[in-house]
A and B are shown apart, each in its own frame.
Chain A
Amino acid sequence: MPPLLKLILIRIGLGILTLFLVSVVVFAATQALPGDTARAILGKEAANVARYEALREQLGLNQPVAQQYVSWLGGVVVGDFGNSLVQKEPVTQLLARRVANSFVLVAIAALLSIPLSLLLGSITALRRDGKFDISVSIGSLSLAALPEFVTGIILILLFATQVFTWLPAVSHVDPTVPIFEQLDLFILPAITLTLAVAPYITRILRASTIEVLESEYVMMARLKGLPERLVLNRHAVPNALAPAIQVTALNLAWLAGGVVVVEFLFAFPGIGSLLVDSVANRDMPMVQAICLIIAAVYVLANLTADILTILVSPRLRTGLR
């Protein structure tokens, strides 16, 4: 087996292992519930012993924990997360639209932040210590520090209230209308997410670009008399690619969690705000499902970053340690 394929398969294997352990954690956490699910569902009616026992049987709560886990996992793998305790309907159905909405939101944020960061990162690296670099640096530092809901509220204050009243402060996405006709409801949340993520990507891109620019091989290229354009494009960029991919993917992975607060702030109907509601209502099946999905996205993003990095580095491609 070529070393490249082997390397990739190992990574994928590790990812699956991690996901498996994640599912154990998600399941185990909910086992720590004081009292039990059946009682929570029935509420007052739990006094009726017959109904209580019947529900326990139905939910499989009398089985040993390990068996419960296995049947739960079996359901998860085929997409059956059970029923929401609040809405009494299958979780999967309730999630579908929300997942789509969040996905579009994150996609827009990604499409905004990647080019922005690439541009800022490389320009500030090339014109190091100049005025532009310093102002971007201060801006990044500040934005990186701010919690995302703070950024969001400042945006609301600026654009949706006192200063300008252009954009809606609260996003009521109409489920009957296609997403693309309601894009203005995505704008503020997407910008908030972008402002939360872009500073990190920019700073790291700048650092790795500088490292490449100060490398021995870039110096050698210049000493060979190559024009600067060629030095940058042919010699610098290919080496800056791997760290760029790494940091971009990792930071985008962060967005999977970033949506929670931002969606709640803008009342955006995605899985983030649904998670917050579900936690408040102790809707365990829903919480389990969303946590799993978010963790899976995170693991997948990391895996993609790893694999892309391997593909882009000749040293790793040819199997050298």
Chain B
Amino acid sequence: MNDEIIVSDSELIEPAVTHADVRRSEWLMIIAEAWRMRRTKIGVAIFGGIVLLAVIGPWIAPYSPTEFVAPPYSAPAPTAMWLGSDYIGHDVLTRVLYGGRTVILLALAATVIGLGLGVTLGLITGYARRWIDESVMRILDVVLAFPQIVLTLLFVSVLGPRLWLIVLMVGISHAPRIARVARAATLEVAQRDFVRAAEAFGVPRRKILFNEILPSITSPLLVEFGLRLTYSIGLIAALSFLGFGMQPPAADWGLMINENRLGIVIQPWPVFVPVLLIGILTIATNLIADGLGRALIGIERDTGVG
């Protein structure tokens, strides 16, 4: 409670900066600290590489993704058909080069939606009156009760496999999970005296939320963004794999994996390559998220800021 007597003796905390040092902003410090780690560099390199591939893929593809170039499941032929043909006779390499855009774009969109919703809800519930907090959390609990993919499938069964629906539902299913993180961070910050000082001055609640509280919770949210992006990629690829994302004859990595599974023993490439790409993409985003997470912990420890 209020009347506690606590005296601190923070001997082992070594402050990172003093008057003499120049202090950069918190974000830059975390990014710089994360960059120092090898794992972050690897993650960024891989992520960058795959995004580049997805973006320029269509321009360097040898054929059109819907063109029939050979009999189904033909073996690779160097220079003409590097990866062979797929279950229906399209060039696998071309489809691979075309197939990344959707996944990455949709995953980004879903993550941004989830973050926007989740952070807003988290801020509000963390700083509002008790009854608002309780009722919103109950509602979020309901959304949380559904595994993300199940919630999406529920609405897909009703409205059909629309891309906008998938992005929306994945984003909505992220929101309560992000909201929990944002709420916890907000609760912790809201009880600090500088928030109370602003209240005593009479600064309106909304301004306090955005000027005092939000900047203090951006660091854990940065980490959360990386994590959620990883899950988004996985979910959207999975939905395409299940047949509810992009529809044939569109080129999409998730779809390709499903389309070509039956021939996996004869022609593994149309399955293997997309699997590999999705796999290392998610590992890359997770490496970045992990690097950011460690940087955050390190900086909190050094400056006593958090």
Do the two chains touch directly in the complex (Cβ atoms below 8 Å apart)?
yes
Taking beta carbons and an 8 Å cutoff, which residues of A are in contact with B?
14, 17-19, 21-22, 25-26, 29-30, 32-34, 141-142, 144-150, 153-154, 156-157, 161-162, 169, 254, 256-258, 260-261, 264-265, 275-276, 278-280, 282-284, 287, 291, 294-295, 298-299
Closest-CB distance, A190 to chain B (whole angstroms) = 18
User: Chain A residues near B264 (CB, 8 Å)?
Assistant: 156-157, 161, 169
Taking A17-B138, A141-B283 as contacts, is the C-beta distance between A157 and B268 under 8 angstroms?
yes
Interface residues in B236-251 by Cβ distance below 8 A to A read 237-238, 241-244
Q: Are B279 and A295 in contact (CB under 8 A)?
A: no
Top 9 closest A-B pairs, CB basis?
A257-B147, A147-B234, A145-B286, A279-B157, A145-B282, A21-B142, A295-B145, A145-B283, A287-B157
Most chain B beta-carbon neighbours within 10 Å: one of A25, A149, A258, A283: A149
Is B150 interfacial (CB-CB < 8 Å)? yes
* A26 to B261 alpha-carbon distance, docked (Å): 32
B285 within 8 A of A: yes
Among the 9-residue stretches B12-20, B68-76, B125-133, B270-278, the one with 4 or more Cβ atoms under 8 Å from chain A is B270-278
Contacts of B156 in A (CB 8 A): 279
A279 vs B152: C-alpha distance when bound (angstroms): 10
A21 to B147, CA, bound (A): 15
Instruction: Give the docked Cα–Cα distance between A90 and B279 (Å).
Output: 40
Residue pair A260, B286 in contact (C-beta under 8 Å): no
CA distance A265 to B265 in the complex (A): 15
Residues of B with Cβ closer than 8 Å to A? 39, 138-139, 141-142, 145-150, 153-159, 230, 233-235, 237-238, 241-244, 257, 261, 264-265, 268, 271-272, 275, 278-279, 282-283, 285-287, 290
Q: Which of A29, A144, A146, A156 lies at the interface centre, i.e. has the most chain B CB atoms within 10 A of its CB?
A: A146
Contacts of B282 in A (CB 8 A): 145-147, 150
Interchain CB contact under 8 A, B147 and A258: yes
Please name 22 pairs of A and B residues whose Cβ atoms are closer than 8 Å in the assembled complex, sorted by A: A14-B141, A18-B142, A18-B145, A21-B142, A22-B142, A32-B155, A33-B158, A34-B159, A144-B286, A145-B230, A146-B283, A147-B282, A149-B237, A149-B241, A153-B271, A154-B279, A156-B264, A157-B275, A161-B268, A260-B147, A260-B149, A284-B158
**Inter-chain contact B155/A29, CB cutoff 8 Å:** yes
CB–CB A141/B290 < 8 A: yes
Find out whether the CB atom of A141 lies under 8 angstroms from the CB atom of B142. Answer: no
Contact of B149 with A279 in the complex, beta carbons under 8 Å: no
B257, A149: Cβ atoms closer than 8 Å: yes
Other A-B pairs beyond A141-B283, A254-B147, A298-B146, 13, CB < 8 Å: A21-B138, A25-B142, A32-B158, A146-B279, A149-B237, A150-B278, A153-B275, A169-B264, A257-B150, A275-B150, A283-B157, A295-B150, A298-B145
Provide the residues of chain B in CB contact with A161, threshold 8 Å: 264-265, 268
Q: A32-B159, A261-B238, A298-B145 are in contact. Are A279 and B153 (CB under 8 A)?
A: yes
**What's the minimum C-beta distance from A104 to chain B, rounded to whole angstroms?**
19
| Interface of chain A, main secondary structure | helix
Distance of B297 from chain A, by nearest CB (Å)? 10
Q: Is the CB of B241 within 8 A of A261?
A: yes
Partner of B146, one of A169, A265, A291: A291
- Among B145, B147, B238, B265, point to the contact of A149 (Cβ < 8 A): B238
B261 cross-chain contacts in A, Cβ below 8 A = 153
Beyond A33-B158, A147-B282, whether A22 also contacts B150 by CB under 8 A is: no
User: A275 contacts B268, CB within 8 Å?
Assistant: no
Residues on B with beta carbons closer than 8 Å to the beta carbon of A162? 265, 268
Are A257 and B286 in contact, with the CB atoms below 8 A?
A: no
Contacts of B148 in A (CB 8 A): 257
A260 touching B138, Cβ below 8 Å: no
Contact B158–A29 (Cβ < 8 Å): yes
List the A residue with the shortest CB-CB distance to B145: A295
Q: Are B153 and A276 in contact (CB under 8 A)?
A: yes
A74 nearest CB across to chain B (Å): 21
Give every chain A residue within 8 A of B139 (Cβ-Cβ).
Answer: 21
Report chain A residues within 8 Å CB of B39: 141
Cα–Cα, bound, A283→B158 (Å): 9
Nearest CB of chain B from residue A82's CB, rounded to whole Å: 15
Instruction: Tell me if A299 and B145 are in contact (CB < 8 A).
Output: yes
In-complex Cβ contact of B242 among A153, A261, A284 (8 A): A261
Residues of the A chain whose Cβ atoms lie less than 8 Å from the Cβ of B268? 157, 161-162
**Residue picked from A22, A150, A275, A298, most chain B C-beta under 10 Å:** A150
Residue contact B146 to A295, C-beta cutoff 8 Å: yes
In-complex Cβ contact of B243 among A156, A280, A282, A294 (8 A): A280
Report the Cα distance A276→B238, complex, angstroms: 12
Within the complex, the shortest CB–CB distance from B43 to chain A, in Å, comes to: 10
Say yes or no: B234 contacts A146, CB within 8 Å.
Answer: yes
Rounded to whole Å, the gap between the CB of A75 and the closest CB of chain B is 18
CB distance from B243 to the nearest CB of A (A): 7
The answer on a CB contact under 8 Å between A284 and B157 is yes
Chain B hits for A256, CB < 8 A:
147
Report how far A33 CA is from B160 CA in the complex, Å.
9
